[in-house]
Structure 1
Amino acid sequence: MRFESLAYMGLAGSATASVILSNDVPLIGPSFLPNFDISKTNFLAEAKQKFPSLVEELFDTKVLNKTDLIFAVDVFSASTNDSLYSYFHVGDTYKDTLTKGNLTEDTIFRTGSVTKVFTVYAIIAKAGIEALSYPVSIFLPELLGNSSTNPLERIDWSEITVGALATHQAGTSGPGQYLKPGFDGADREAFLEFMRDTQVPTMGPWRSALYSDAGFGVLTLILERLTGQEYKDAIKDIIFKPLGMNSSSAVVPNGTDVDAVARTGLVSWGTDVPIVAGSGGIYSSAKDLRLAGLSILNSDLLSSSTTREWMKPRSSTGTLVELVGAPWEITRLTLPTGPESNRTRVSDLYLKAGGTNDYTCFIALSPDHGIGFSILIAGETATPARWPLRDVTGTTFITAAEYAAAESAEKNLTAPRAAVEGGKGGLFDHSQAWMNIGASGSADELIFNMEDAKVVSIINRISVAAAEGERLLSVIAATEDTAATLSQVKLDLAALKNIWYDADALYSELSARLETEQKEFEDLRGSHIKKFFAGSQYKEKLNKEENDVTEVQEWLAKADKTRKELKAKLHDMKERRQKLENMLEQRVQALNDLDHLYAVVFDGPSPDNAEEDKLEAEMIAAQQVFDPIQERYSQVASVVKYITMARSRVTFAAGSAAKALKISESDIFDLKAGAGIRANRHFNSAVADRKEREELGLVHLSLTEASQFLALAHELDPEVGGFIMPKVADGKSAAGRLDDWINTPVTDYLFHREIKATAEGIAAAGAIVDEELRLAEEKKSVWTEKRDAAGKDLKQAREKLQQLRARIFEDAVNGQGSSTAPSYEQATANEHLPQYTATEP
């Protein structure tokens, strides 16, 4: 089998990747429209046709073990929001590990380190992309303060952020030294102590990317702190439930109805370690990985700007074609620009590989093409098998998508695009395109011109864009009532669910009743004593019990029939809801695409329409007024958020101090021996059994977090004062140590006074934080008014420009007449949020 194209693309790895350099290099990103429908193109049909033979060749050449492996390949597209192609293989050796007897898109595998993508995805979805810049110590202050000052011996957690962990740039190594025989996989405190006091750094923070499973163990606990839930519940609530990933979990799936490749007792199936669940603990299926991939490509859980920020390289490696993201493993491909072309362009493929001995997994996303693929593998040779399967899948379908995109561009592409030209090559590509574009204003243009791929230069923007405009308008018209219909269907579905729940509850109640009645009937029929002594009364009672059983059986049958009918209706209504949701997504996409189409067509001066240039200048001026106000508002809103978080920590500290104070009052006349005496005179206040010390530990922890949040607020707004840390009675003072040693009413009282002083200090600190919050909220109120006013002006300017452009476009296509394009108000009324709408942070 020949894989020249594989090496050419850079998928074969750094050793064989071919890097084609150019003197005329476009910006990184899609060279063609990324959101077109690839599903009906000839290039995809050819890829689907040849893929099975390519896999068979891997079997024939012994690259893959045909009898050992079980694997599922799924290729999906954001434009269709569905699978483009699936391929399944079941080897004879372990086919009995399939709990359902066959392999489908719902069959569950282990995903290994693909879990890391979900962990970062959940953190960003929960706390925002800015969470990557937060110090780890905000969430896990217990990591601070290890005893060593030698950077070669201990990790300096004060320098490490969430993003450093997510991008493998914290030097936190693996958890192998902790995961020894007899370890407790659920002991969070012990794991954090290990990471603080024992784990040796592999390198200093931010020096380079070096893979770290232990770092993702820490991220596991950060997500737990963010949500107040265990990882398995947090990942379910944040990712799995919203996306409908019903086969996915962070614990081994159990039950008689599980559809899985369950290699139980072989190697890794069912081996779950909660403290590092966020590193490699997720079980999932091809369907669920598709749902996750599509949600990222479509920005379902994140804003589009957040997705774009996340899907960026964050570190380089020792090869020119491999980059590191959070936690993406990014392969920089050099793609041929057409089937007959010897020109190439650079495109980034975002991958994450995972493996747990006998299970391996891949998820890959290509934002340039709006497609992705997943590979799930089980078997003794699963680890070596994942690389050739990745290569053949990526080479076949990413190349097909590129060719199809070029073909689509030839028909539909409008306005300036980057030239894709071959160059002379060399070590340095001498391209400053990314630095120069836009440096002289909107007059800068890169003209689209691909000789080999047969895409011609653009002359008349509107005429070329007419077909795409008409297509988008037809989609918009066909989905005009979709939002209202979907709302009604959701209401009907909720009502029907309630009816079904009642029917199901009645069925369960009747089932229990029938069981009781049958038991009473059998007991009566089998009672020889009652039969002998009761006579005719026994027979009469027996007949009555039998009739009761028959009657309950009849009602149970009716309830079962009703329940099944309702379930069928629910299924049909859910399918209708899904279709309507897809239609609504198409409508939103079409409206956004139409906005973009108009913006591209009218980009730059319009010599034939001075009014359009005037309104565009007004819109740009309004945007220039709005942007700094929005930026300042976002900054002030972040300050309020940080101070609010600090206030909540102070409130919690005050509650813990009050508990400690109350406990210490009741403890004054407790005359039992002190902890030091009970510990055989080896004093250690950390293990004293005095409850108030536990509460005081929480006080110290909460106040430390409050101080960190106020420091973040101060960074954004220097007018925010620093946090005055009150002195916390920690038991290490003379009174505290003495009380822990001999425990008399006198020492209890002295320690009680220290705790009281702590509570008073917290109250004073809380008053200061309250005042800072009041001032910050006043600032936010002022900037909110400014933002709303500027936003209103910007919205009006955009509305006028949008309506004029729509009218000009339609008049140019159809001749003079009224425009059928939806207005800005109509778009908003139909739940359309234009891409240019300003949103709060």
Structure 2
Amino acid sequence: MNFIKKANILQILAMSLVLGSCKQKNAPEAVSLKKEAIEEAVVIKPGPKLTEEYIDAKKKSIAYFYDKNWTRKSANGGFLVAQNGQIIFEKYDGYANYKAKSQMKSTTPLHIASVSKVITATAVLKLVSAKKLYLEQKVNTILKEFPYPDVTIRTLLNHRTGMRNYAYFTEKKGIWDRHKILSNQDILTIMATKGIDLEFKTNTRFSYCNTNYAILALVIEKITGMSYKDAMEKIIFKPLGMKNTYVFDYEKDKKTATPSYRGNFSLVNMDYLDAIYGDKNIYSTPRDLLKFDDGRNSPNFLDPKLLKQAHIGYSNEHKGTKNYGLGIRMVNWDSGKNFYFHNGWWHGNTSAYITMPDERVTIIALSNRMDRRTYKVKNLARLFGEYPFKLADE
């Protein structure tokens, strides 16, 4: 009898462990972030020191490109090129605030638009690494009212959910009063209650959609038990020393944030979509984004296995060079060479983030005055590796 009782107890304990594991895996509760796991400051090991001769040669070529791209000092923003964590070239031109005639500085935070997605994705991968979340987890196990049962964290990250863009479905009559500021939670509630169907079956194709990252921000909030703003500060900004970076708070920051302009310096006013975060609404500087890039590529900060998964293309149903990973765009050439980047645009803000891990090169361009020349900085990649781009004078 004692043997039978012991066996039963062991069976009950085993079953409890299994059920507890399933509960944790399928429906995690909000958890506190342990400082030693996520919040600690990160020391990034610098690469080999660049020689003065090397820096001078690269600086000359970059300066030539800069002057050709932004003739007559027409740039309005910040620009930086670095290798091995060392700044080779940087420049800040134009006005942070045109009306006040305040000059652009290295510490001026600018709206980085969709480059915010790279940072949101990195925070998600940090939570995956800390086992607070997993990539194949169904979103409806975290956000109970989420209406699409097949959508996972991975398909949010790689834009394969089939969800529709909130900027479009909130324009439809009876869906949302555009005199009211839209929130991330409002997007979720609308999708759950207004019959917003999927554009296509989940994970059957790629379609870039800001809604994916607005939902990821809600996931971060649910898992951490913090606001997205506070979570990003604890997981990314503070550990990497990004002192001039913050998540825009519509009510608190709308009067003090660096303004956004059209090409003629007419002010772009904010609208009902300006409170949404995760897909946009991070303000940063080129120097802070260099710190972020050094951290993102460091094994001391992000699990190299997860970074490798982020750099896999998930959008190539049709053969081509352009692709999308987990929060990063890429170009994959037949030569085997890969180029990783993300651009951004919101109102008059344009941004370009280029990360070249093979050469350990970072290229950042930010502007708060509408300027598509921001995106041409990708051409500088050919100064550092076998990238088939053309410089401005070719």
TM (normalized to structure 2)?
0.73
CA distance in 2, matches of 1:281, 1:121: 16
CA distance in 2, matches of 1:271, 1:246: 28
**Structure 1 match to 2:36:** none
**Structure 1 match to 2:146:** 143
Q: Secondary structure at the match of 1:173?
A: coil
Deviation at 1:273, TM superposition (A): 4.1
Out of 29, 47, 54, the residue aligned to residue 58 of structure 2 is 47
**Structure 1 match to 2:157:** 166
CA distance in 2, matches of 1:273, 1:378: 15
**Structure 1 match to 2:373:** 385
Relative to 1, partners in 2 of residues 1:363 and 1:99: Cα closer, same or farther, differing over 3 Å? Answer: farther
RMSD of the alignment, in Å?
Answer: 3.0
Deviations 1:179-204 (A, max 9, x none): 6513342371x422322343232221
Deviation at 1:242, TM superposition (A): 1.1
**Structure 1 match to 2:330:** 330
CA distance in 2, matches of 1:98, 1:244: 31
2:179 paired with 1:192: no
**Structure 2 match to 1:72:** 78
Gaps in structure 1 of 5+ consecutive residues = 1-34, 145-156, 335-344, 401-841
Deviation at 1:251, TM superposition (A): 1.2
Do the aligned partners of 2:161 and 2:212 also contact (CA within 8 Å) in 1?
Answer: yes
Deviations 1:28-82 (A, max 9, x none): xxxxxxx96362275553221022222322345xxxx854x402221223x3x33
CA distance in 2, matches of 1:52, 1:178: 44
Relative to 1, partners in 2 of residues 1:187 and 1:158: Cα closer, same or farther, differing over 3 Å? Answer: closer
**Structure 1 match to 2:229:** 232
| Letter matched to residue 109 of structure 2 | I
Deviation at 1:132, TM superposition (A): 1.7
Deviation at 1:119, TM superposition (A): 1.1
CA distance in 2, matches of 1:83, 1:367: 16
| Letter matched to residue 178 of structure 1 | T
Deviation at 1:304, TM superposition (A): 2.7
Do the aligned partners of 1:245 and 1:288 also contact (CA within 8 Å) in 2?
Answer: yes
**Structure 2 match to 1:37:** 48
Relative to 1, partners in 2 of residues 1:49 and 1:317: Cα closer, same or farther, differing over 3 Å? Answer: farther
Deviation at 1:348, TM superposition (A): 1.4
| Letter matched to residue 48 of structure 1 | K
CA distance in 1, matches of 2:206, 2:53: 41
Relative to 1, partners in 2 of residues 1:203 and 1:386: Cα closer, same or farther, differing over 3 Å? Answer: farther
Do the aligned partners of 2:342 and 2:354 also contact (CA within 8 Å) in 1?
Answer: yes
**Structure 1 match to 2:136:** 133
Q: Secondary structure at the match of 1:168?
A: coil
CA distance in 2, matches of 1:178, 1:370: 42
1:455-470 equivalence runs, <5 A: none
CA distance in 2, matches of 1:296, 1:282: 17
Out of 92, 99, 102, the residue aligned to residue 88 of structure 1 is 92
Deviation at 1:364, TM superposition (A): 1.2
Do the aligned partners of 1:99 and 1:262 also contact (CA within 8 Å) in 2?
Answer: no
Relative to 1, partners in 2 of residues 1:137 and 1:371: Cα closer, same or farther, differing over 3 Å? Answer: same
Q: Secondary structure at the match of 1:237?
A: helix
Do the aligned partners of 1:317 and 1:324 also contact (CA within 8 Å) in 2?
Answer: no
Deviations 1:354-393 (A, max 9, x none): 11021011111112112222111121x32x22222333x3
CA distance in 1, matches of 2:234, 2:161: 28
Do the aligned partners of 2:62 and 2:89 also contact (CA within 8 Å) in 1?
Answer: no
Larger Rg: 1
1:175-574 equivalence runs, <5 A: 175-176=166-167, 177-178=169-170, 180=176, 181-186=178-183, 188=185, 190-196=186-192, 197-251=194-248, 261-263=258-260, 266-267=267-268, 273-274=274-275, 276-316=276-316, 318=318, 320-332=320-332, 345-379=335-369, 381-382=370-371, 384-391=372-379, 393-398=380-385
Relative to 1, partners in 2 of residues 1:333 and 1:103: Cα closer, same or farther, differing over 3 Å? Answer: farther
Determine which structure has the larger helix proportion and give its number.
Answer: 1
| Letter matched to residue 104 of structure 2 | L
Deviation at 1:394, TM superposition (A): 2.5
CA distance in 1, matches of 2:316, 2:184: 35
CA distance in 2, matches of 1:100, 1:358: 17
CA distance in 1, matches of 2:62, 2:123: 34
Q: Secondary structure at the match of 2:312?
A: coil
Q: Secondary structure at the match of 1:315?
A: coil
CA distance in 2, matches of 1:271, 1:390: 32
- Could you list the runs of 4 or more consecutive aligned residues of structure 1 that deviate by over 6 angstroms after TM superposition? 269-272
Relative to 1, partners in 2 of residues 1:271 and 1:42: Cα closer, same or farther, differing over 3 Å? Answer: farther
Do the aligned partners of 1:251 and 1:270 also contact (CA within 8 Å) in 2?
Answer: no
CA distance in 1, matches of 2:338, 2:310: 13
Deviation at 1:125, TM superposition (A): 0.9
Do the aligned partners of 1:263 and 1:269 also contact (CA within 8 Å) in 2?
Answer: no
Relative to 1, partners in 2 of residues 1:372 and 1:99: Cα closer, same or farther, differing over 3 Å? Answer: farther
Do the aligned partners of 1:107 and 1:286 also contact (CA within 8 Å) in 2?
Answer: no
| Letter matched to residue 279 of structure 1 | D
Deviations 1:707-728 (A, max 9, x none): xxxxxxxxxxxxxxxxxxxxxx
Gaps in structure 2 of 5+ consecutive residues = 1-45, 388-394
1:534-683 equivalence runs, <5 A: none
Do the aligned partners of 2:221 and 2:228 also contact (CA within 8 Å) in 1?
Answer: yes
CA distance in 1, matches of 2:140, 2:87: 42
| Letter matched to residue 191 of structure 1 | I
| Letter matched to residue 116 of structure 2 | T
**Structure 2 match to 1:426:** none
Deviation at 1:333, TM superposition (A): 5.1
CA distance in 2, matches of 1:100, 1:298: 39
Deviation at 1:300, TM superposition (A): 3.4
Relative to 1, partners in 2 of residues 1:95 and 1:328: Cα closer, same or farther, differing over 3 Å? Answer: closer
CA distance in 2, matches of 1:230, 1:333: 40
Q: Secondary structure at the match of 1:246?
A: coil
| Letter matched to residue 136 of structure 2 | S
CA distance in 2, matches of 1:372, 1:203: 36
Relative to 1, partners in 2 of residues 1:59 and 1:239: Cα closer, same or farther, differing over 3 Å? Answer: closer
Do the aligned partners of 2:351 and 2:375 also contact (CA within 8 Å) in 1?
Answer: no
| Letter matched to residue 120 of structure 1 | A
Do the aligned partners of 2:162 and 2:198 also contact (CA within 8 Å) in 1?
Answer: yes
Deviations 1:583-642 (A, max 9, x none): xxxxxxxxxxxxxxxxxxxxxxxxxxxxxxxxxxxxxxxxxxxxxxxxxxxxxxxxxxxx
CA distance in 2, matches of 1:353, 1:365: 12
Do the aligned partners of 1:97 and 1:263 also contact (CA within 8 Å) in 2?
Answer: no
**Structure 2 match to 1:799:** none
Relative to 1, partners in 2 of residues 1:136 and 1:246: Cα closer, same or farther, differing over 3 Å? Answer: same
Structure number with greater CO (CA < 8 Å, separation at least 6) is 2
Do the aligned partners of 2:310 and 2:328 also contact (CA within 8 Å) in 1?
Answer: no
| Letter matched to residue 375 of structure 2 | W
Relative to 1, partners in 2 of residues 1:101 and 1:238: Cα closer, same or farther, differing over 3 Å? Answer: same
Q: How many residues align?
A: 326
